[in-house]
């Protein structure tokens, strides 16, 4: 299995900052942030499944445009998987004929370009020789993370979250954990903002990582663009022994 980072920033700007999206092989997306816009039409048309962590714009920005761009090039609907509350937001506030057409009805309700499938925490979806498991998370809106597993190991992705004991219990139960991608949006000087917005800062991350029971390569995502150097410096000072790395666009995980 190959996972390519299309976007991992908490904002946009310049040639390298794209919001959250991970491409699994060539047919699955984890989130659909602005990084999806760098894919070619041919690459977009090969995506069959999108697993959405939550409804915030930086994680769904390219989903409506992607469906519109390649819907007629495909012979089956694009399947969007997420929790019931997030599905309700997508239906009511995005695919509502006011913000964007409802592609679950286009070109017909019988043969649409888009279909939704509901998930719950703990569910595991098998797609060929890969499995996607839904992980708990805590954010300002209903949110989840995902674990992606193949015969070569498991990658866990927190999505957007704050302190969440349930997330760590689920991660510690994963088989053959090799990689952990976890968010840290703000530096410690903005700890109160991190608490209010239900994100992490380096000091909070350090406490959370004490709950991790298995060795894994740790990558930091969702850094705010204007503060990423400061935040990564604080992470290095606080968590140097764990050697967390900053996730970057086009990083590839092969396992």
CA distance 174 to 142: 22
Q: What is the CATH number of the domain that holds 49?
A: 3.60.15.10
CA distance 9 to 31: 13
From residue 28, give the alpha-carbon distance in Å to each of 2, 3, 251.
Answer: 11, 9, 16
What domain range includes position 118? 2-254
pLDDT by 10s per residue, the chain, length 255: 999 999 999 999 988 899 999 999 999 999 999 999 999 999 999 999 999 999 999 999 999 999 999 999 999 999 999 999 999 999 999 999 999 999 999 999 999 999 999 999 999 999 999 999 999 999 999 999 999 999 999 999 999 999 999 999 999 999 999 999 999 999 999 999 999 999 999 999 999 999 999 999 999 999 999 999 999 999 999 997 889 999 999 999 999
- Residue that has been written with the tokens 């809106």 in this structure: 141
Which of 251, 49, 18 is closest to 155 using CA atoms? Answer: 251
Beta strands in the chain (DSSP E): 2-7, 21-24, 28-30, 49-51, 78-83, 114-119, 124-127, 130-136, 144-150, 153-157, 177-183, 217-221, 245-246, 252-254
Give how many domains the chain has, as a whole number: 1
pLDDT attached to residue 218: 98
pLDDT digits (tens, 9 = 90+) for 151-165: 999 999 999 999 999
Prediction pTM value: 0.97
3-class SS of residue 133: strand
């Amino acid at each position: 299995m190959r996972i390519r980072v299309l976007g991992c920033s908490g904002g946009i700007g310049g040639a390298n900052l794209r919001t959250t999206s991970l491409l699994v092989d060539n047919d699955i997306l984890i989130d659909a942030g602005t990084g999806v816009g760098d894919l070619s039409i041919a690459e977009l048309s090969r995506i069959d499944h999108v697993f959405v962590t939550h409804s915030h714009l930086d994680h769904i920005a390219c989903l409506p445009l992607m469906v519109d761009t390649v819907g007629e090039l495909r012979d089956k609907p694009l399947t969007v998987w997420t929790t019931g509350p997030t599905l309700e937001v997508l239906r009511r506030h995005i695919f509502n004929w006011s913000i964007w057409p409802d592609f679950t009805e286009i070109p017909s309700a019988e043969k649409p370009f888009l279909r939704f499938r509901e998930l719950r925490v703990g569910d595991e979806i098998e797609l060929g020789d890969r499995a996607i498991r839904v992980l708990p998370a805590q954010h300002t809106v209903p949110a989840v993370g995902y674990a992606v597993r193949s015969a070569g190991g498991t990658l866990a992705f927190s999505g957007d979250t704050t302190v969440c004991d349930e997330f760590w219990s689920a991660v510690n139960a994963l088989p053959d954990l090799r990689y952990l991608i976890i968010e840290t949006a703000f530096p410690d000087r903005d700890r109160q903002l991190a608490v209010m917005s239900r994100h992490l800062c380096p000091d909070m991350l350090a406490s959370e990582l004490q709950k991790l029971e298995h060795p894994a390569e740790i990558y930091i995502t969702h850094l705010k663009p204007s503060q990423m150097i400061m935040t990564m410096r604080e992470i290095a000072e606080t968590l140097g022994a764990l050697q967390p790395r900053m996730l970057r666009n086009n990083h590839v995980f092969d396992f």
